[in-house]
Amino acid sequence: MAKSESTKYRLAEAMKTCMKTTSVDDITIRQIVEVCGVTRQTFYRNFLDKYDLINWYFDKLLLKSFEHMGEGTTVYDGLVKKFEYLKEEHLFFAAAFRSDDQNSLKEHDFELIQEFYSNLIFQKTGRRPDAETSFLLEMYCRGSIYMTVKWLLGGMKFPPAQLAKQLVLGMPEKLVQLFTDLHILS
């Protein structure tokens, strides 16, 4: 692992430590760097702000689930993998998803997921989603994130596989048909 990558992970661990006692919106860069034992300059060489740090860490976890989905498995399998990662890092992500800042993890998650599905459709068909499919994808992705946050903040009362199943069952019919035709639904 490169030195800058190592520093980023150390800063993420420091952020996780701060999240145990302080809400994300109230955590300061000063707190993060003090816990990590680095300077503010080091922080800002690696991240724009604390939300950029959270989003970077989330990306690292999501990348694993997206790679899993890209290996020819299904949307369901990819969702299960994502929710297992979120469950492993429950304290971090529960705190991060509580923030409603414009750079929040909810918005970042939405952008990543919508882009992932759009790119997957493009890879399988050679075409970008049409306006109706884009609308349905946006609605579905936003709803999925809402339910994911509700699951995380509500104590994850059922396993990741059940949440994934519910999200697949809640998919708009046109997306179900498209994903079935592309052999990526379940």
> Quick one: pLDDT at residue 102?
56
**Average pLDDT per block of 10 residues along the chain, 186 residues long:** 86 93 92 97 96 88 62 78 83 78 76 88 94 97 93 90 95 96 86
Q: Alpha-carbon distance 179 to 118, whole Å? A: 11
> Quick one: pLDDT at residue 4?
81
Give how far the C-alpha of residue 14 lies from the chain's centroid of Cα atoms, to the nearest Å. 20
Nearest CA among 36, 34, 33, 35 for reference residue 44:
33
Nearest CA among 8, 186, 15 for reference residue 93:
15
Q: Alpha-carbon distance 32 to 74, whole Å? A: 38
Domains delineated in the chain:
4-45 (1.10.10), 51-182 (1.10.357.10)
> Quick one: pLDDT at residue 176?
96
Q: Alpha-carbon distance 160 to 62, whole Å? A: 15
Nearest CA among 149, 62, 186, 174 for reference residue 113:
62
> Quick one: pLDDT at residue 44?
97
> Quick one: pLDDT at residue 101?
65
CA dihedral 73, 70, 84, 95 (to 10 degrees): -150
Which position has the token pair 């690292």?
Answer: 60
> Quick one: pLDDT at residue 96?
78
| Backbone angles phi and psi of 37, in degrees to 5 | 80, 30
> Quick one: pLDDT at residue 78?
82
Query: Max CA-CA distance within the chain?
Result: 52
